[in-house]
Structure 1
Amino acid sequence: MNIKSLFLKSLLLSTFVSMLFSTSVSYADDQDDKNSKDSQINSWTSVTIDNDIIVGGDGGYTNGLMISWYDVGVSDAVGPGGLVSPLAGLVTDSPLRNSVNIYTFGQTMSTPDDIEVEEYIPDDLPYTGLLYFSNTYLVVADDFADDVSLTLGVIGPASLAKETQIAVHDITGSDDPKGWGNQSSNEIVFQLKRGRTFRNWVSENDTFDFLSRAELGIGTIDTSLAASATMRWGTSLENSFGSVPLQSSRVTNPLAFKESWYFYMEVGANYRGYSVFLDGNTFADSNSVDYNNFTYGASIGFAYSWSNWSLTVAVADRDLGNDAFDTFETDYYKYGTVTLAWRG
């Protein structure tokens, strides 16, 4: 266990406990008011598939599958779910346009570039799988949106990442991954995340807008600080700007109830202090890789909502400078993603 892991262990556990207890009272004071409101609530379900094959790779962040269930309400009709209810005091108490609660069950994994090597590959990405459950609460005001989330999961053989990748590669005819014997040990992991998105500018006819976002994550899954800017072109953008933050959580466009569409381009920067996919286990010795803390990247995508359906397609490269790692080159931060959502 290295010094970074020891420091992170004490910092994260103390932060986790203090945030839970410091916000519980403020939420309890508001809960009765929320439950007394009788506003319309819409329920949605979405399925997201991430894969690096979409952008021509097969290493790094190699695969992700997420299923989400979420309730969307007018004003503050929807309250936070059980996991994030103690953290509800972290979001704004301003008058709201919408409130959204999301539960997500997912699995993600990363591997070295050469997955046909059975032995451990020094100075390359370790084999890591993550099986997780998260709860996100999003509130949308007139010109900004707040979100808070808590994710709990497990890494190691219990994540079933090895079995998933082998099954997927059998179906697609891809190379057989042989190095999963070197993966991280079983360990319970978590992350707290808090973000705010501003709608800084909108055109007169609501066909263009500009959004900015800041986000802080703390946990044994990932500890990082991120900032981004997004430009969109489309229809009914006012109805959907609050859901843009959810794209990084693999939830599509739940606030665009009417038929609408938009293209978007995002650029952003990230300072990462810790990542389970790069640093390995926090509480045990495991394989890891040295990396540069600062990266910058971009993504482009298209979202379309019609009737009771919504579709988002995007490609992302979170390391445009290709300098996240000094000892090797990888497409770890490059992937494609498709999300299909339906109401009801």
Structure 2
Amino acid sequence: MWMKQTAFKYLALLLLLMSIVLVLRSEPCKAAEDRRTFSFYFENDLFADTDRHYTNGIKLSWISNDLTGYAKSGSLPDWSLPIIRRLPFINEQGLQRNVGLSIGQNMYTPGDISSEDPLEDDRPYAGWTYFGIGLHSKNERRLDSMEIQLGIVGPDSFAEQTQKFVHELSGCQSPNDWDNQIKNELGLAVVYERKWRLLYSGTVGKSGLDLIPHLGGALGNVYTYANAGMEARIGWNIPRDFGTSLIRPAGDSNAPLNAQDPRLSRDQDFSLY
């Protein structure tokens, strides 16, 4: 079993490295405002040799090209335009505007998945499978993201089947109490977040650093919270974006901001930070 788990870890690492290579070898053929961005996210506590609480997350997202002239471009359905015109931040002058779509699944388990009985004072088994649509507006210094997520928790999220399949494949401990998971319920969340690029130093082909604080919150029946934080990056060829993207609402911030992004340069093959 130990060899099977080790092999599975190396396979996961190999898939991650392959995805990085594909990104590094992609040909930059369009300006930043004309590019669409696809991202695949994988978060798992496998590499920390734990299996508890927030134990796995996968997400696929797409961010559109700049829709500054959305009303005349025909890129959006007519019924959506009156709604978008009433949204805050989206219609300010001098901003890039993007639409984001995402689909994902989060998985949560108690601290001891070998137990066949519910554990008091511990996180219950739960899955959250969702679809999200977001609107992003940004300039050189600020990114505003508004997102609506719609999904389901409970057996119809298929988190139980996902975890049991992966654990059987990897030879890990089989979870024994999914029968007591949270019951089926439709979920809705409305999310807003703002990020600032307070500091950016560096050019393509040189070392640099940046500082990106964020502030936001969510309201819904799946989660309601306020959040604040900050990311600092230092390294080589730091991307011109708004920081590391994570599996969380309004977390898609890795689309290139402008033509100075090293990912759009034919002369620079990698970033390290």
Q: With the length of structure 2 as denominator, give the TM-score of the two structures.
A: 0.72
22, 38, 42: which one pairs with 1:45? 38
Against the structure 1 CA distance between its residues 312 and 203, is the aligned structure 2 distance closer, same or farther, given a 3 Å change threshold?
closer
Contact 2:134 2:148 in 1 (8 A): yes
- Partner amino acid for 1:225? A
Against the structure 1 CA distance between its residues 220 and 257, is the aligned structure 2 distance closer, same or farther, given a 3 Å change threshold?
same
Of the structure 1 ranges 70-79 and 126-135, higher mean CA displacement relative to structure 2 is found in 70-79
- 1:292-303 equivalences under 5 Å are none
Shift, 1:41, TM fit: 3.2
Partner of 1:228: 229
SS of the aligned residue for 1:72 comes to coil
Contact 1:136 1:148 in 2 (8 A): yes
Distance 2:124 2:148 in 1: 25
Q: Deviations over 1:115-157 (max 9, x none)?
A: 0111111111101111110011111123111110000010110
Shift, 1:312, TM fit: 10
Against the structure 1 CA distance between its residues 204 and 183, is the aligned structure 2 distance closer, same or farther, given a 3 Å change threshold?
closer
Distance 1:124 1:258 in 2: 48
- Partner amino acid for 1:119? D
Of the structure 1 ranges 134-143 and 178-187, higher mean CA displacement relative to structure 2 is found in 134-143
Partner of 1:72: 65
Distance 1:305 1:76 in 2: 23
Query: How many residue pairs were aligned?
Result: 231
Q: With the length of structure 1 as denominator, give the TM-score of the two structures.
A: 0.58
Shift, 1:50, TM fit: 1.1
Contact 1:145 1:197 in 2 (8 A): yes
Partner of 1:216: 217
Of the structure 1 ranges 68-77 and 210-219, higher mean CA displacement relative to structure 2 is found in 68-77
Partner of 1:199: 197
Shift, 1:98, TM fit: 2.7
Report the identity percentage.
24
91, 94, 103: which one pairs with 1:93? 91
Structure with the larger strand share:
1
- Partner amino acid for 2:231? T
166, 173, 176: which one pairs with 1:175? 173
Against the structure 1 CA distance between its residues 238 and 128, is the aligned structure 2 distance closer, same or farther, given a 3 Å change threshold?
closer
41, 50, 55: which one pairs with 1:57? 50
Residues 1:135 and 2:136 are matched in the alignment? no
115, 134, 143: which one pairs with 1:117? 115
Cα RMSD between the aligned structures? 3.6
Against the structure 1 CA distance between its residues 95 and 61, is the aligned structure 2 distance closer, same or farther, given a 3 Å change threshold?
same
Q: Mind listing any 5+ residue stretches in structure 1 that lack a counterpart?
A: 1-38, 262-303, 315-344
Contact 1:130 1:154 in 2 (8 A): yes
